[in-house]
Chains A and B, each alone.
Chain A
Amino acid sequence: MKQFGRNWWGERFIAALERFTDAGRLGRGRSYASNGRIISYEISQSAVTAKVRGSVNPYYGIMTAPTYKTTIIFRTISPSHWKQVISKLSSRADMVTQLLMGEMPATIEDVFAELDLYLLPHSARDFESDCSCPDYANPCKHIAGLYYVLAAALDQDPFVIFGLRGLTREDLQAELAKTSLGKILADSLVKEEIEPEPVASYFTRPIRESDETDSANHKEFWSGARRLPPLPAIPTKSSVPAILVKKQGDFPPFWPKAASFIRVMEEIYERVRIRNPQMK
């Protein structure tokens, strides 16, 4: 199985759009999205609504940056189709496992294809978009920008696209619960909120405590009460570096870069092990 980059799912969404959208216009959205022009957005059922800051344009007499309302509405997949999709999906351990680990399964589209369906937009008819800006062409910069923001949201949570295509969380859970594998996934969809866990000190705080036995015997004070454990043999490095972090998959949520987190960690670990006067 090939390794997927950080944004493979979002990228595939954009790529899907490119097939039936003016690539030049679409491309303008990328900088729009990354420049923070999307003030806020909201997903409600199959609709995404956003407030987008437009540009100042003295030529048209626009002297203060306007705010436009931008909307994208997806065409939904019918509940009966969804039933079939879910039933197929929940009979595949690989899909369930990846969703369980918070990733979009790489082969997810196969399931839809078997039923002649598409998860990602396949043609212009699959969604409608609208913007309150004066630009009559579609997509305008604002809609394109919203596409990119949406692409990033899809990477964060694989279930967002399910919702946009008309599957409510309740239906999803009800359908999943019908198979034993699916039930596992359904149970874990109730998300736990993670609370910060502040600590009192950066390093373990060395505390003082009087221990009578330490000052009881002169010899033990200087030599210890027990012999040292046997000297360890030279540790051999693991056959593969960074195993610990590898188990959790690549691109952890705190990692902002498009380059692989695991590759970087391998490099750091190796440098700490080898390029290090302390480890000679």
Chain B
Amino acid sequence: MYIVHGTWIPANEQGFVQNGAFYLWVETDTALHNSHHRADKIHPRQLVGEALYTFLMDTFHLQEKISGFPGAPSNKLDMKYFLLPTAAERPAPSFELLRYVEEEPPTEFELAPWRIQCYQLTDLIATLNTIHFITLNAASDFQLGADLLFWYQYTQAFKEIIVRDQYIPAIKARTRASQSKSGKRINRNAKDGYELHPGWEILSDVYETNIQQYIAAMPAVCAAGMNSADEASALFNKESLLRHFSECLLRDVVASASFPNEMQDRLRDTLLFECINPYSSRWSTSSRLLRKATPQEIEEYRGWLSWRKNLTRAHRNAAFTLCFQLLEAEFMDIDHWHLHFLVASQQDPSLKLSLNEYWDLPPKQRTRATKPFGQDFEKNLLLALGSAARIYPTIWEGLNTDRPSDCELTLEQAFAFLKESAWVLQDAGYTVIIPAWWTPQGRKRAKVRLKTSSRAPKKSSKAAGTSYFSIDKLIDYQYQLSIGGQVVSEAEWRQLVNAKVPLVQFRGEWMELDREKMQQLLEFWQTHQGEGQGEISLMDMIKLGTESDDLEWEHDQALSEMLAHLHDKSAFAPITDPRSLQGTLRDYQRRGVSWLQYLESLGLNPCLADDMGLGKTLEVIAHLLKEREGIEGLPPTLVIAPTSVLGNWQREIQRFAPEIRTMVHQGSTRLKDKQTFVETCQQHDVVLTSFALVRLDEKLLHALKWHRVVIDEAQNIKNPKAAQVKSILKLSATYRLALTGTPVENRLRDLWSIFNFLNPGYLGKEAQFRKSFETPIHKDNDQDRLETLKKLVEPFILRRVKTDKRIIDDLPDKIEQKMFCTLTPEQASLYEAVVKDVEEELQNAEGMQRRGLILATLMRLKQICNHPAQFLQDGSAFTSTRSHKLERLSEMLEEVIDSGESALIFTQFTEIGGALERYIEHELHYNTYYLHGGSSVSRREQMVHDFQNPETEPSIFILSLRAGGVGLNLTKANHVFHFDRWWNPAVEDQATDRAFRIGQRKNVFVHKFLTMGTMEERIDAMIEDKKRISSLVVGNDEGWLTELDNDTFKDLIALRRSAVME
């Protein structure tokens, strides 16, 4: 694993101009071979030389750039030093690397210098963006350090200053030092004159806000760079470092722009020439930089100073903001528009005074009236009006008086004002008030309107059940011309198009005419009008409605109701619980099923993305039951899920809907003959299978048309080129349904893949999707594209999160769920071997010995159910392929972390706690804590504090059931996992309460893992029974199990083979 770090290091020179450069370095999980690194202070975990160079070039495609000018950045390898946390004479791994190495973060350390080979980076804004973009989509064998992410994001934010021209040419004066005869510098004195250094200055409120926000978030390592080992013993002050960086960056950005020779010639002998050539002019011999400035140059400098003073004064203005309000002309008098001048208090912008009113006041009252607008009101007012007039000269015409209050505009001028000048004034910091009909909300726009009507329902075919429509071509439409939502005749339209003015009155209100666009729309309308009625599919209609701006829709009642329905998911009326459901649905689940039914009835395939724990499986089961009410002989539904959850599906169906005939297509005993397979399937309602088998048994699964294909954990199908995914896409089914618990709308690749399965073509081809959504959203952070995408997918995705108001009301504070897993064949054979041994020993055991045997057996079986490695204690691999329980836990943790939540995991075995910690840290790479009997009190407090800190990323906290102790407050977690079971509900509940305490504002989800077909499942059933028969009290340990007679015990531990999954 490589962690790519990088930071800005100012040059070690104390001259007037202190340069700096940006350096990348790569931390690795494997140490350098040299053993002498301690003495030489060489950082042991770094890429060096050829390896560093090759990695950076190959991964990020960096362009070589060598500059001949001193101070200008070049690409090159260079030795640098960093002050890093050091303990026991070794630098601690970075926070990112910790998850990949067997090392604890040091609790105490000092900062010591380490030598690291770096690569100097150029063109920072663009290069950091490229590096970030490549990393987003790259394989996962490297990642970016928080330091590099910081600089990436800061440079992106800095772009705004460049894009909005918020910097000015500047001159910096340096007092010259007199030289004594010996060449020593003595005191600096104005009489020795000045050197003048041209450059740039940032003048921007955005910049100042950015600096403050970013220094608060800057990792200390960003300030840790040095040029030599003994340069310093302290880090840089963050603000000064960030300002130094920004100023150098601005100089470099200007320098990298291209200015043609013709322009250079025009600018020669001016300040600007030196400003745009910062590197080349700086050291040229004719430069004025290194000598005393002449009196003329000082005069020029003073001129600049006064200009800058006025500029900052205008920039920071008085205590008021100047406002301009455009009042429209009367319809009969179209050339008399008025632009009124007002002032608004900066402290309270709602406090406004129009200049008209102001001048009308008797002079004595004026002073009082302008109190909220600051001192020197009239002077500042004139200066503000003057500055505004420089930008929008028409204002001068309103100043031709001693009481300036407004200016008059002709219709053409008013239009130009609305079109452009208003924005310019607004950008310049003035407030502009325009008539409502010009605002985006109030604006009347010319559009082509599609008048649509749903076709009368066809006789629904048998297979489609209660479909309202057949799936394609179901909506008729007609084109009309429309303005501001009102239908317009062709004649009226033409009249408007032929008007000679840009603003017209249309049915009593002013509106803008975009003649060119109206002409286009007219032509479009004319060519399509002859076609009479058209047809469009519902899906295309939704898509077109979201993406096209020039279309307007008039839907008939049925269609508009339908669309309203699709967009307001909360309005779905809950279904009544299916008659044969063994249990009760929660209200939001009833609404969920209702939504599934509705979408399928429209021929739209839905994605159910409710948060983990809200019961998606049960919603699907209820949906299956509901569609069978009154209908016989529906073809089977195929459910594809990860192996680790197949057992859970099976159990849940058994429990809630025993009448649904379920078949598990899994394992070596599965049906292999096509004909038998098809026939057997047809006698079932649900066929469960795993992702892997879809490809292996492609021929079988493609041999029949399914009623529905359900994909559980649908984020698994993100690679469209994988053979597995191709097989899934080829399945033939009337309906398709995707289930996922991850916030799918934020992961664009997942989103596209899921839609490619559900509603192929809706989001375009993959390359198309990448171009129109993924790249703009990820690379440019394009919010408009993201908004469009969200609107596109919104009708198809139902995602309710635990924190939704309506969900919370439906949920108890604590939701307990059992998670059924199966044994792997390895676990099963170990399990059977133990059972076999015990059966023999049990015959001869008596009294204490028998009790001991029983408890020991239970312990060993629990270990096997957890993981073979725990039982074998042979140091073999703790991998998820050997235990479905571990596999399922990993999957669920991924959903927890992806939703930005935290979890507790309880186990009664310290060896499992340790193994889980390593596994979660090093395989899943989540922030992990582990508290066990051996943790010191201070360590324990530190961990709890870190975990609870709101600034800490979502994390996993592992606790040993016994060491957990009371009094721990871990309310940040809202998921509690019981990896193995303590056969005593009271102990488990107490543990659960760590997360479920006062101060917990979220619902807590408790997931209890159970392996199917084993004693875990049966003991659980016994406890459930006993809970019902409350007379039987389960003791506070597991001793009650030893009271069972031999046969009962044997039956308890016997393995039900059918529950083993390969």
Name A's B-contacting residues (CB within 8 A): 1, 90-94, 96-98, 100-101, 179-181, 184, 187-188, 194, 196-199, 201-211, 214-215, 218-229, 231-249, 252-257, 259, 264-265, 267-269, 271-273, 275-280
Contacts and interface: CB of A to CB of B under 8 A. Distances in A.
A230 B314 CA distance: 30
Contacts, number: 322
A188 B307 contact: no
A250 B267 CA distance: 16
Nearest to B403: A93
A242 B95 CA distance: 44
B1026 to A, nearest CB: 46
A210 B234 contact: yes
B220 A221 contact: yes
B266 interface: yes
Which of A94, A184, A221, A248 has the most chain B CB atoms inside 10 A of its CB? A221
A273 B162 contact: yes
B390 A97 contact: no
Contacts of A91: 401-402
Given A206-B240, A233-B781, A257-B270, A247 B390 contact: yes
B271 A254 contact: yes
A180 B382 CA distance: 12
Contacts of A240: 391, 420, 423-424, 427
Nearest to B219: A224
Contacts of B110: 215
B280 to A, nearest CB: 16
A205 B781 contact: no
A8 to B, nearest CB: 15
A181 B125 contact: no
Contact of A204 (B240, B399, B402): B240
A29 B420 CA distance: 45
A3 B164 CA distance: 24
A275 B156 contact: no
Contacts of A247: 311, 314-315, 387, 390-391, 428
Contacts of A198: 173-175, 194
B769 interface: no
A276 B215 CA distance: 28
B142 interface: no
Contact of A92 (B244, B272, B400): B400
Interface string B146-172: 110110010011011011111111011
Given A214-B235, A254-B303, 18 more contacts: A1-B394, A1-B397, A100-B383, A202-B18, A204-B244, A215-B235, A239-B424, A242-B165, A243-B391, A243-B428, A244-B166, A244-B311, A246-B428, A247-B428, A256-B300, A264-B272, A275-B257, A278-B124
Interface stretch (B248-256, B634-642, B665-673): B248-256
B652 interface: no
A140 B390 CA distance: 40
Task: Give the dominant DSSP class at B's interface.
Answer: helix
B173 A93 contact: no
Interface string B183-207: 0000000100010010100010000
Given A203-B247, A244-B311, A271-B258, A92 B386 contact: no
Contacts of B267: 264
24 contacts: A100-B386, A181-B382, A198-B175, A201-B16, A202-B18, A202-B199, A208-B237, A209-B236, A210-B234, A214-B235, A219-B95, A219-B946, A232-B160, A237-B163, A244-B315, A248-B310, A254-B307, A269-B165, A271-B258, A276-B253, A276-B256, A277-B256, A278-B123, A278-B124
Interface string B108-146: 011100000000000111100000000000000000011
Interface residues of B, number: 130
B162 A279 contact: yes
A235 B199 contact: no
A188 B235 CA distance: 48
Contacts of A265: 169, 272
B379 A196 contact: no
B298 A218 contact: no
A92 to B, nearest CB: 6
B427 A238 contact: yes
B420 A239 contact: yes
A252 B308 CA distance: 10
Contact of A223 (B159, B219, B223): B219
Nearest to A209: B237
B302 A194 contact: yes
A238 to B, nearest CB: 4
Contact of A196 (B85, B126, B232, B305): B305
Contacts of B107: 218
Nearest to A211: B235
